[in-house]
Amino acid sequence: MLPAGQFLPPAAGAPRGLTGRGGVRQREAWTVPDALNPRSRRVLRAAVAQYIETGRPVGSKALVEAARLEHSPATTRAVLRDLEERGYLTHPHTSAGRVPTDSGFRFYARWLVHRQLGARSAGLGVAETDRRAVERQLAGREGGLEAAEEAGRLLSRLCGAAAVVTAGRPEDERLAELRFVVVGERRLLAVLVTEAGAVHHRPLEGVALGQRELERVHAYLGDKVRGYTLRALRDRVARERDPYGTLRESVSNLLERAAAAEAERVEVVVAGKERLFDRPELDDVHKLRAFLRAIEDRTHLLALLDETLEAPGVLVRIGSEAGLGGLDDVGVISSGYGAGARHAGSLCVLGPVRMDYDKVVPLVAFTATVLGGGRGPSARPS
């Protein structure tokens, strides 16, 4: 783990983003040769925080007063100038104060992520009213489209930005029941009921099995289904050796088709697009349209959220690194949720880069924890 307060921006070629809860990716993303000294880090954090709060360029005198820095305006001015040369700050014109660049915002947001990793309990940094709202509306609602919709609406309202949530998928949830129903010629419907109570239907085309054959399939599955994910059940049946080889092969084929159908269908909930209309950064109609197009672009969104599924904690994407179809003025804070090595779903808050990261980062982490049925972080920074 890096020394306290030593949080550095990613160097060129380093892994993009910052994943939470320790691990090699996190250390690689922050360990770069161009280290900032403690004073520069404090000034940069203060400058970004003040710009987020006011939306106005930051001057050295005002920064010293607002952030109660222990050094003089002259010293702060020199530090700001150095940070600008390093690419963390810029200024609109010669006489104006500084504003953060994407690198400055990344530094600040990822410092908050790193700080969140050291939390001894879930909810650190979350306002009491927000914490209660999350617990009241999401506790005990693991997975499923309804839970995703509720989480999206809640995050959007609390953060004042758009929220995107993918619902937990049966392929990653433990099943309570699995049935196949004939719905047409060479067409079945797989009905998956998860232990969390969610019901999913997946059509299977080109399967020539009648009701009598399906009864044999259900008898074969028997009590094998409960407690297994769809993929784990598929693998179990594929490994079995029994005298019913032909039947086992049919069951294995059905499970393979059901898993493939499930992988192709990801429920994506988008909430709070209308909140972007209230953001002063999006007064430009062209910029607002770019945001709305990016949110509706399922391909780019799913690519970002699929990456979040593989990350062990909060993931920060700012500017072009979000990969949202050329949208640059954007901040995305995301996390996977669900128990186990692989998350069941993911959630993110998406808005202009001047976002209240101090509120959003811990709130995203806490919401993911509650939606996943946990009470706190499962790991600490190494």
Closest CA to 161 of 331, 307, 368: 331
Among 16-30, 76-90, 138-152, 228-242, which is the least confidently predicted range? 16-30
Question: Do residues 165 and 272 both lie within one domain?
Answer: yes
> How many Å apart are CA 369 and CA 336, to the nearest integer?
9
Task: Check residue 133 and give its pLDDT.
Answer: 95
CA dihedral (303, 321, 156, 288) in degrees, to 10, reads -110
> Does 214 have pLDDT greater than 80?
yes
DSSP classification of residue 314: -
Q: What is the C-alpha end-to-end distance of the chain, expressed in Å?
A: 5
> Largest alpha-carbon pair distance within the chain?
85
Yes or no: say if 304 and 109 are a contact pair by the CB < 8 Å rule: no
pLDDT in tens, 149-175: 999 999 999 999 999 998 766 566 788
> Does 23 have pLDDT greater than 50?
no
**Look-up of token digits 């106005």:** 56
DSSP letters along 176-187, please?
Answer: EEEEEEEEETTE
Last residue within a domain, chosen from 56, 79, 108: 108
Question: Do residues 58 and 89 both lie within one domain?
Answer: yes
What residues contact residue 49 under an 8 Å CB cut-off, 6+ apart? 67, 108, 358
Yes or no: say if 256 and 234 are a contact pair by the CB < 8 Å rule: yes
Question: Do residues 288 and 141 both lie within one domain?
Answer: yes
pTM: 0.68
Question: Do residues 248 and 310 both lie within one domain?
Answer: no
pLDDT level of residue 381 (50, 70, 90 thresholds): very low
Q: What's phi and psi for 60, nearest 5 deg?
A: -65, -45
Q: Report the pLDDT averaged over residues 189-202.
A: 83
Yes or no: say if 124 and 137 are a contact pair by the CB < 8 Å rule: no
If DSSP codes are grouped into helix, strand and coil, which group holds residue 2? coil
What type of residue is 343? H
Beta strands in the chain (DSSP E): 89-90, 99-100, 162-166, 175-184, 187-194, 199-205, 268-271, 315-318, 331-337, 345-351
Question: Do residues 98 and 238 both lie within one domain?
Answer: no
Inside any domain, residue 77: yes
Question: Do residues 164 and 271 both lie within one domain?
Answer: yes
> Does 277 have pLDDT greater than 50?
yes
Question: Do residues 76 and 216 both lie within one domain?
Answer: no
C-alpha distances (whole Å) from 214 to each of 17, 80, 192, 246, 368 are 48, 71, 15, 13, 39
Q: What is the CATH number of the domain that holds 317?
A: 3.30.450.40
Question: Do residues 149 and 66 both lie within one domain?
Answer: no
- Beta-bridge mates of residue 182: 188
pLDDT level of residue 94 (50, 70, 90 thresholds): low
Q: What is the CATH number of the domain that holds 186?
A: 3.30.390.10
pLDDT level of residue 101 (50, 70, 90 thresholds): very high
Question: Do residues 100 and 245 both lie within one domain?
Answer: no
- 281-285 long-range contacts (CB < 8 A, ≥24 apart) are 281/55, 281/329, 281/352, 281/353, 281/354, 282/352
What type of residue is 317? R
Here the tokens at position 270 are 């988008």
Question: Do residues 271 and 365 both lie within one domain?
Answer: yes
Task: Check residue 130 and give its pLDDT.
Answer: 95
Question: Do residues 71 and 133 both lie within one domain?
Answer: no
> Which residues form the domain of 357?
118-169+267-371
> How many Å apart are CA 163 and CA 156, to the nearest integer?
5
Yes or no: say if 47 and 89 are a contact pair by the CB < 8 Å rule: yes
Q: How many domains does the chain have?
A: 3
Q: Report the pLDDT averaged over residues 354-382.
A: 74
Question: Do residues 165 and 273 both lie within one domain?
Answer: yes
